[in-house]
Amino acid sequence: MTAELALLGRAPAVDNARHVRWPVLDDSDRQAVLTVLDRGVLSGPFAPEVRAFEREFASYIGTRHALATNSGTAALHMALAAVGVGPGDEVITSAYSFVATAQAVLHQQAIPVFVDIEPHTCGIDPALIERAITQKTKALLPVHIHGMPCDLDEVMAIGKKHGIPVVEDACQAHGAMYRGRRAGSIGDAAAFSLQSSKNLPCGEGGVFVTNDTAMLDRANSLRMFGENVRQMEDVPWDPQRPLDASRAYDSVHVGWMYRTNEMSAALARSQLRKLEAANAQARQNAQRLSAALSTLPGITPPSEPADRTGTIHKYRVTFDASAMGVSAPPKTVRAALIKALRAEGLEVVMWQSQPVPGQTLFRDKTGYGSGVPWSVWNVESPVRYDLDQFPQTTRLLDSSLVLFSQSCPIFPQPTELIDAYAEAFARVWRHLPQVVAAASAQS
């Protein structure tokens, strides 16, 4: 192999310093936060930025209600509690997600039951849900992973048939469309994350959404110490006494402190105005890169069913060693590609590398420490987390990579960088057997 690869001394195909770091913050964001500082109101249940953001976000998503929270996990937890999930109940969710999805279930001392994915959207496979339903199933929790809506109509139909509410984990799916409606507006409730890597970032934050007013009232109370918060009442808000709204200080059940603050809400409002542009650029970049990568043997870019539009929150490519003309286990090929592509200056990450139930928390059922909630609530027919139940998730994660990273995701990158990624792939693909052989020899 002559020095045709950066791995062997050639100049990298991509100048890594040219990546645009996310989030992109401009004067309008600065001004939004400064306005809060000038006003001098940093928080409060009825503070103006939070309430304005909730109205604007609900209107954008197409739900009647939204409640801003201090994380996506908080919004998920509130949603599960609001639909009636409690200790010992079971919640069916996808084996491929960020751990927060299942952690939110555990926060209610409920039992996560994982179902494998289908390969087109990488979302929960609806064909496998019904056999996971038991008397204890109290919610379905599908995830729009990478911002691609899962097969939601099928999930909703199962929920309806069995009288089980559906909570959408839309933490990666701000603005994604499913059959003409926005992800997050279809289930009984949904949760979004506003953490810094998301297409709609504000640092840390989240949003709970629902169309159901009773659900809103429950979630609103859960967000604030279990107090009887009547947000829908038009409480007069006095900017001179922002922390002294009428409040009974009488918790009626367990709740949490999941409220957010004015600076985060102001930044979220400002970023919401730019979300459509960010999503459009993500799609344009993804389409351009996918067109180029599709010409290489053995590589499959993310797919997008015709009836939905994803946010490309993560751009995951799958590879097939035999179609690539190499003979090595998927994980070896994956390691070889990571090394060669990083040497070419690309941002390449694995993000998740195993199904969620493979994490120690589930494998050892450590839970709250002494095995709770399983040791208390799931003794008679213990839920199994063995990975043999999740072949599609395992196959996907063993044989794929996420291009770009949390710090430098696909959405803000310039076209030239996308083209340089395609060139780097072409280079590596011209030398695949050697790239993989070198990695195999080292492992």
Ligand X SMILES: Cc1ncc(COP(=O)(O)O)c(C=O)c1O
Point out which span in 68-76, 265-273, 290-298, 326-334 binds ligand X (CB under 6 A): 68-76
Positive or negative, the Cα torsion across 357, 363, 369, 374? positive
In angstroms, what is the minimal distance from the CB of 72 to ligand X?
3
Which SS3 state, helix, strand or coil, does residue 419 take?
helix
Q: Which of 22, 46, 96, 98 binds ligand X (CB under 6 A)?
A: 98
Query: Measuring CA to CA, which residue among 168, 189, 194 is closest to residue 64?
Result: 189
Cα distance between residue 408 and residue 163, in whole Å? 42
Q: Is 394 in the site for ligand X (CB under 6 A)?
A: no
Q: Is 100 in the site for ligand X (CB under 6 A)?
A: yes
Q: Which one of residues 169, 227, 262, 344 is an interface residue with ligand X (CB under 6 A)?
A: 169
Q: Is residue 168 near ligand X by the rule CB under 6 A?
A: no
H-type alpha helices, 254-313: 262-293
By CB under 6 A, residue 109 contacts ligand X: no
Which residue from 48, 61, 73, 166 is in contact with ligand X, where contact means CB under 6 A?
Answer: 73
For ligand X (CB under 6 A), the number of binding residues is 14
Known catalytic membership, residue 198: yes
279 binds ligand X (CB under 6 A): no
Do the Cβ atoms of 157 and 166 come closer than 8 Å? no
Residue nearer to ligand X on the CB measure, 208 or 429: 208
Question: Contact 143/118 with Cβ under 8 angstroms?
Answer: no
172 sits near ligand X (criterion: CB under 6 A):
yes
22 binds ligand X (CB under 6 A): no
Quote the CA–CA distance of 393 and 70 in Å, as a whole number: 30
Tokens of 329: 């286990």
> Among residues 136, 160, 198, 274, which one is catalytic?
198
302 near ligand X, rule: CB under 6 A: no
Which CB, 41 or 143, lies closer to ligand X? Answer: 143
Q: Which residue's CB is nearer to ligand X, number 311 or number 332?
A: 311
Residue 191 CB, shortest distance to ligand X, in Å, is 7
Q: Return the number of the residue (121 or 172) whose C-beta is nearest ligand X.
A: 172
Q: Based on CB atoms, which residue is closest to ligand X, 97 or 309?
A: 97
Segment near ligand X (CB under 6 A); pick from 14-22, 165-173, 226-234, 286-294: 165-173
DSSP β-bridge partners for residue 91: 112, 139
CB atoms within 10 A of CB 223: 29
DSSP 13-77: SS-GGGPPPSSP--HHHHHHHHHHHHHT----TT-HHHHHHHHHHHHHHT-SEEEEES-HHHHHH
Q: Out of 23, 44, 45, 72, which residue is the one contacting ligand X (CB under 6 A)?
A: 72
In this structure, the dihedral spanned by the alpha carbons of residues 299, 301, 306 and 308, taken in order and rounded to 10 degrees, is: 150
- What is the radius of gyration, based on Cα positions, of the chain? 23
Active-site residue set: 198
Footprint of ligand X on this chain (CB under 6 A)? 71-73, 97-98, 100-101, 143, 169, 171-172, 193, 195, 206
